[in-house]
Structure 1
Amino acid sequence: MPLVYCNYGIRDYRKKPISINTRGYWEFQCTLSGKNRLQKLGKTVREYDNDPNFWISTPDSAHGWTSLEKEPSEIAVFHFSEVPESLSCIFKGRTTVSTRLDQQTLKTIADMAQKMMPLVYSPNYTSNLQYEICCRQLCLIFLHNTEFLLENIPWDHNKQTVRASIAWYCTYMNEGVGIQETAEKMGYSVSQLRKIFIRTRGEGPCKVFEECRMNRARELIQHGTMSMIEISMECGYNNQSSFSRAFRKYNSMSPLQFKKLCRSTRHPLSIDQIREHERK
């Protein structure tokens, strides 16, 4: 993801507007202070209800920049030759998307621009890696602040996100991780990950993760080589009491009752078989 251009500083788009043209690269433009406006071909200055200060435009976007403000603005601009699919797939016919960032995030982007500028004009052997890190950080910042665009993420991408989330959670379950840690690892906020799960599976991640814990618990109990305390810890519970309450609520029987049932049947039991046994 080469960074082909980066600039940072004070600009007066009112006195010296940027003419409408096609950049040929992915443009990340952030107004750090003041107010700037995007212009499109054949259109007047575009008005935004939410007053954005961060825009991303595709390589074929013909646009320019202007301002109605009397004072100059501070900007940061990045041009990349490519971006991750997780960002490009949200455009779906759009050539520009925008959002609004808070002051702390704007400062983060300002710091990134100041760090990247010297590398663009005097690259070194680590430059390409730093370009890629910068691009991914900018993409994450944008996606974290653009909830409505999740509606446009392709179904297959959502399914892959759900599968990856479940796989990661199951791997680190014994460390007591939850939805917060999983969402951060996947590059989403908690609310974004919850929407993806509900849209894809019809249920939230908390319910899915609890099912994962119970599946592992039943498997370990049926295997018969670990104590209940060890199983509790392996399934991410702080203590055996919490594990027992959760197990009883989910399976309609205690872990010890389930263990006795497994011994009597002498073969693995699914959750449906357990509930069928309870009805009898």
Structure 2
Amino acid sequence: MQKTEPSNTNPTLKEQKDHGTFSFPCGLYETYDDKNWNGVKHHWHDELEILYFMEGEFELVINMNIYTITDECFYFVNSGELHSILAKTSVKESAVVFHPRILNFDSYDIAQSRILQPMMKGELYFPRCIKPEHPVFSRLKQEYLEIVNAFYQNGFAPINEYQMVTNDLASQLFIRAGLLKILAFLEQYQLLSVKEHTDDDYRVEIIKNSLAYIHQHYGEKFYVHTLAQNAGLNEQYFCRFFKKYIGKTPVAYINEYRIGRAITLLQDTQRPVMDICLDCGFHNLGNFLKEFRKKTGMTPLQYRKSFSQTHKSK
């Protein structure tokens, strides 16, 4: 495999989504027995993420590794790591996503130099998983639940169906303190580690660059051989490589992403279906309708009508 240089500096490669607010980049995501929540697709971000799996069965993918989760546990996602979650049953799951800059100190003390600065630079990593049998688990759980509770105090602000933020100063201080205590417990049990570069880093960058290209050019006409060429691989190998790590072929992923964008436009605008079809990269209406029905079980107009009626009744 031809190696490509990592390109983490390109902001377009990252998830285009705000976690928390500009002044306090920390958000809480929760789902409880929501049968409509299937998980989250492959993405990555600069922020760190603490995942608390409470009940249900999940498939968590981080970079090149797949984790099957059936019991209560914590997982950690470090900055820039490609990850996805698939919910296989009705689940209870929670996540706190935060930028490490909210923990910085003005004074350059030992915590700043040995933990916070290396974490900001992506040189110090969280452990991957903490399970109940580990002696630190109960302490992490207590602090995590205190952080969750702080989001609900003094007028939390739901951003959408799943994300919550808080603009309350006291709540932000409690959240910051809780995150620092979690870092302290991890340091106490020597669970923070220095980042080691492996061949998987290059494989992850190939996938991230390929997904970024699709997300940027989904409205244009392009072919799989373009993705393969950008990755420095032959097309046949690239297709096998992509399917192995994403779980579907490049063509299936491209169509699914385009339909997802079309769904958003149907929800948010009254634009004609044909315009949406063309803007989302489908140059054949019949193919667009077929892929849309495969994803939703409806035609675009039926979907728009159903979505409108559902939200009017709320």
Settle same-fold status: TM greater than 0.5.
Answer: no
Indicate the structure with greater helix content. Answer: 1
Give TM class, smaller chain. 0.3 to 0.5
Q: When the two structures are superposed, what TM-score results if normalisation uses the length of structure 1?
A: 0.39
Relative to the length of structure 2, the TM-score reads 0.35
